[in-house]
Structure 1
Amino acid sequence: MRGSLTACVGWLLGLTVACGGDPKPEPEPYVWQLPQGFPEPAVPDDNPMSAAKVELGRFLFYDKRLSGNGTQSCASCHVQKKAFTDGRKTALGSTRESHRRNSMPLANVAYAASLTWSNPVLPDLEAQALVPLFGEHPVELGLAGQEELLFQRLSEDARYPQLFADAFPEETQPISMASIVRAISAFERTLISGGSPYDRYTYRNELDALSLSAKRGMTLFFSERLECFHCHQGFAFSDSVKTKTTVFPEITFHNTNLYNVDGKGSYPATDQGLFEFTNKPEDTGRYRSPTLRNIAVTAPYMHDGSIATLSEVLDHYAAGGRAQAQGSGASPYQSELLRGFTLTPQEKEDVLAFLESLTDTEFLTDPRFSDPFAETP
């Protein structure tokens, strides 16, 4: 009876209490440090942010013990200095299996309304995290069937029992797959980039933050002539965005005529984009528009890493799609915004200067997002 009463009082006070035990304080809430012009991200009700949970997630994100064979971590495909991409054309799994798609950047992933190149049914980071952890086609971290081994590995590390207990004081068994997924997702939500020269110019009124060339390029980028801003818009430079106040997030995918195998709009059978989920011909070759923030450090580009440089990306769009440039013609499924354009050499240089101005060097080196194992032997 006394234990029940203690638990009830603890619940009323917002404390976690074991029967007959001492009350455990709730974890310290996480305090967002948002750049100017950025709204608060959406956070699931069942995974509130806390400082302890974020710190645990940071350790787990960089821990190679989260792969079945102990060779890779989340950070293996998401490297901070590359805006949490990996610099490869396509990702490489822990079993050295080459994947079919390019690793997406994680900068500002907290605001992403869709979380992969073409999957429309992953609602949040918690659901998405299960794919690299347990997916078998292709194998990424390769943990399928090895959950107990993972729990053993983490339990044997002197740091983790306390990190988990601090992050999840309400759990009688804090080290669990649900806690692992929630902690990693909480850390990923903190990967917010908004300190680039463009941001300093736009939101902080630092008029000399952009070069004259970048300013001319910005005018071109946001013009109807180039149409870039329709798919790469707002503070996130993306058109699939959600925030704390979003009621119905808009999830969009686009066909940029990267391929037109048969002249009728088909893509290689190995990767047909959104079509694989909807089976609708008009969804062939449709992919999510990734953020352009830090785009200068996330080469190579496109869903399959098939375009090596930003200069070539501009050539792709100027031609009305690479398939058009290669003689395959316009695809019946390509975006209506993809009409092609002409740039003088100076204009192209200006647009590239603007894209370079989206690089947030502080984000790429911020110790809050770095490998904690490099700091703690």
Structure 2
Amino acid sequence: MNQRWLYLAFILLVSCQESAEQPIAYQWALRKDFPRPQVPLENPMTEAKVELGRHIFYDKNLSANGTQSCASCHQQKFAFAEDRKTSIGSTGEVHRRNSPALVNIAYNKTLTWSHDGLKTIEHQLLLPMFGDNPIELGITNHEEKVLERFKAKKYQPLFSKAFPDQAVSFKNISYALASFVRSLVSFNSPFDRYAYDNDDTAISQSALRGMTLFFSEKLECHHCHGGFNFTQSTSHEKQLLDRRPFHNTGLYNINGNNLYPKSDTGLSEITLNPNDNGRFRAPTLRNIALTSPYMHDGSIATLSEVVDFYAAGGRNIIDGVHKGDGRLNIKKSTFMKGFTITKEEKADLIIFLNSLTDKKFISNKKHALPLP
């Protein structure tokens, strides 16, 4: 079995029942035979909504004090993530979590790092817009002022095309933003050219060796980062199983009590189940080389350190307020067993992860700041 088929054996494009047919009004930038994302019936994709959403995404007028836009924390050059440990809101508040990359989130089964109930982008967007813990865009109590900005002359034709005969509203703003974010699909990496275009020259022999390691039972990476989107938390028109996986990777084990920091215990904050302490969603690995630092709190700086972390089967913090050996956290995923890896194998694995970088995605003008 050659290495391409080794990968294809793991993509698990499960064909279950078909979803409700969506209006064919938007041309997805997908590879041939790739499934379309599921789209809410109440917000079908259109080019006009995507274009309106792009303008709003980059507009600082969306924040109450006019200092930040969505793009402030989701920058195209970083695959719509940012190069800081955790985000800073429009009022200067330091957040507790790393800004997730907006790569193929149209396929995500759940949104954010650890919320099993947020399943549509339309609903998730309400958190950065109106949430007050933490404050991101800070619209709450400033709704009329912010909405008035989007009634400006430059927005009138954009709203008219996207939502004919409808008033400017936060509902339509969120629908347009959701449409733009859904359009951010990335399937043109060197790996894709190798796996789907049968281009044997697209990735190096080192990357091929790294791919074999990635899909091996020795490393077990594919169990949480599998499928065509390199994350287990995936849904689309041909895969409707309700899979909402979250994982404890042994990042913390404070004082040996199997706990994560009180500032962020992960899924347990939503479920109130102590067994969910430290469980977070595995993000896609597409464009992973661009999205450092890593983990939900940005606490691991480089891909090299990430590989070391997984090889160790968790993280041992030897001093400070978070002191504890995460390798011994009893709530840790069964896939976090650790493994031995040589210097050469580690280099191959990282080169493979770099082959998931889609340079067209980060330079696509359709995703970029609109010209004046």
1:314 aligns with 2:307: yes
Tell me the equivalent position of 1:14. Answer: none
Deviates more, 1:337-346 or 1:142-151: 142-151
2:261 pairs with 1:263 = no
Matching residue's letter, 1:371: L
Partner of 1:274: 267
Where do residues 122-271 of structure 1 align in structure 2 (5 Å cutoff)? 122-156=118-152, 158-171=153-166, 173=167, 175-271=168-264
Match of 1:40 in 2: 36
Amino acid at match of 1:107: V
Aligned with residue 120 of structure 1, among 90, 108, 116? 116
Which has more radius of gyration?
1
Work out the CA distance in 2 between the residues paired with 1:216 and 1:28: 41
Residues 347-372 of structure 1 show CA distances to partners (whole Å, capped at 9, x for unaligned) of 00000000000000000100010000
TM-score, normalising length: structure 2:
0.90
The answer to whether the 8 A contact 1:104-1:116 is kept is yes
What residue ranges of structure 2 are gaps of 5+ in the alignment? 1-22
Q: Which residue of 2 aligns with 1:76?
A: 72
Q: Would you say the 8 A contact 1:107–1:193 is kept in 2? A: yes
The letter for the 2-side match of 1:125 is I
Candidates 283, 290, 293, aligned match of 1:290: 283
Q: Look up the equivalent residue of 2:162 and give its one-letter code.
A: A
Q: Secondary structure in 1 aligned to 2:254? A: coil
How big is each residue's C-alpha offset from its partner over 1:178-237, in whole Å with a ceiling of 9 and x where there is no partner? 100000000111000000000000000010101110000000000000000000011110
Once the two structures are overlaid, the 10-residue window that deviates more, 123-132 or 30-39, is 30-39
In the TM superposition, residue 249 of structure 1 has moved relative to its aligned partner by 2.8
2:238 match: secondary structure: coil
CA offset digits 1:79-127 (Å, max 9, x no partner): 0010000111001100011000000010101000111000111120000
Aligned to 1:10: none
Where 1:68 maps in the other structure, the secondary structure is coil
Fraction of identical pairs, as percent: 53
1:87 corresponds to which letter in structure 2? D
CA distance in 2, matches of 1:220, 1:178: 46
CA contact (8 A) 1:197 1:210 kept: yes
C-alpha distance in 1 between matches for 2:274 and 2:141? 36
The Cα shift of 1:28 comes to 9.2
Deviation, 1:324, is 8.0
Partner Cα separation in structure 1 for residue 262 and residue 148 of structure 2: 41
* Residues 1:332 and 2:324 are matched in the alignment: no
Q: 2:24 and 2:367 mapped to 1: Cα distance?
A: 19
1:38 CA displacement: 2.7
Classify the secondary structure of the residue corresponding to 1:267. Answer: coil
TM-score (structure 1 length as normaliser): 0.89
Count of aligned pairs: 345
More moved, 321-330 vs 238-247 = 321-330
Aligned partners of 1:242, 1:139: CA distance in 2, in Å? 30
Aligned partner of residue 97 in structure 2, secondary structure? coil
Rounded to whole Å, the distance in 1 between the matches of 2:145 and 2:324 is: 53
Contact 1:67/1:142, CA 8 A, preserved across alignment: yes
Note the C-alpha offset of 1:37: 5.5
Amino acid at match of 1:29: A
* Post-superposition CA distance 1:298-347 (Å, at most 9, x none): 00000000000000000000001013898624111000011000111000
Residues 228-282 of structure 1 show CA distances to partners (whole Å, capped at 9, x for unaligned) of: 0000011110001111233333110000000000213111111111111112221
2:369 is aligned with what amino acid?
A: D
Determine helix, strand or coil for the equivalent of 1:262. Answer: helix
In structure 2, give the amino acid aligned to 1:136.
Answer: D
